[in-house]
Amino acid sequence: MAEFKYEINEEVAVLSENGDFTCEVNIITYGTGRPKLDIRKWNRAEDKMQKGITLNKEEALALLEALKDLDFDKIG
């Protein structure tokens, strides 16, 4: 089985903390791929990640545009 490799190129923001886990936004390169915007929960003490979402540049820009018009009062 191949080793799973990633490199955090830039730590963008910690969105929240809950116990040992933080929800983070980072720019990460997985394997030999291109850097992507990555949003997921991390347990830094154990260097473990949970499921998350990765976005390429076009997807990240589309999300940014969508969030500009979002009515945040609709979120609980």
Give me the pLDDT at residue 23, please. Answer: 97
Distances (CA, A) of 57 to 10, 20, 50, 71: 15, 30, 22, 24
Sign of the dihedral defined by the CA atoms of residues 23, 7, 38, 63, in that order: positive
Q: Tell me: the pLDDT tens digits for 4-63?
A: 899 999 999 999 999 999 999 999 999 999 999 999 999 988 888 999 999 999 999 999
pLDDT at position 76 over 90: no
Report the predicted TM-score, pTM, of the whole model to 2 decimal places.
Answer: 0.86
Give me the pLDDT at residue 7, please. Answer: 94
Domains and CATH numbers, the chain: 6-70 (2.30.31.70)
